[in-house]
Amino acid sequence: MAIVITEHVESGEACVLMTLRPSKLNRHGGQYALPGGRLDEGEQDADAALRELHEEMGLELEAGSILGQLDPFPTRSGFRVAPIVVATRGPVTLRPDPTEVEQVFHLPFSELASPDIPRLQDSNNSEHPVLSAFFPTLGHYMYAPTAAILYQFREIALHGRPTRVAHFDQPTFAWK
């Protein structure tokens, strides 16, 4: 999974690229997501993030664009999400693959910095709360793991606060 920091073409504001996955997909269809996918045989997390960015978004970045990696997040659906933070040099042209991406969003840093993030809800299935965040650009709430990863990114990159998020639970719809 990649957290892509780029510049919004119209506003010039720093933002993170988000996608809406097509609803027809078997896994996590209709959900908001960061670009990313499974590791290929023998592949490292960073290599997979760059490959998936190219496959999903038509965005080709070099290893030098990698800024770092956030904590892995184990999901209820059996995946281990390994967020890699990358940055572009200015605005980029995207060519999303319609089989993997229904829509692309540029989530501005100003929304990530909202004092309303995170929102924590009790979970009936865990002792840990479900983390969510509302983003006006999306017009919807986003939930862990994606919201938790964005929250960790915000705390570290924007506020300089070391923060762990892997303990947050996910809503039951995300378990499939």
Q: What are the pLDDT digits (tens) for 115-168? A: 999 999 987 777 889 999 999 999 999 999 999 999 999 999 999 999 999 999
**Rounded to whole angstroms, how far apart are CA atoms 69 and 158?**
15
Q: What are the pLDDT digits (tens) for 97-112? A: 999 999 999 999 999 9
pTM of the model as a whole: 0.91
Q: Find how far residue 90's CA is from the centre of its chain.
A: 20
Give the pLDDT confidence score for residue 28 in this predicted structure. Answer: 61
Closest residue by Cα to residue 131 from 159, 172, 80, 169: 169
Q: Which domains does the chain have, with CATH numbers?
A: 2-175 (3.90.79.10)
Q: What are the pLDDT digits (tens) for 63-116? A: 999 999 999 999 888 888 999 999 998 888 999 999 999 999 999 999 999 999
Residue type for position 104: V
Residue 30 has pLDDT above 80, yes or no: no
Give the pLDDT confidence score for residue 94 in this predicted structure. Answer: 94
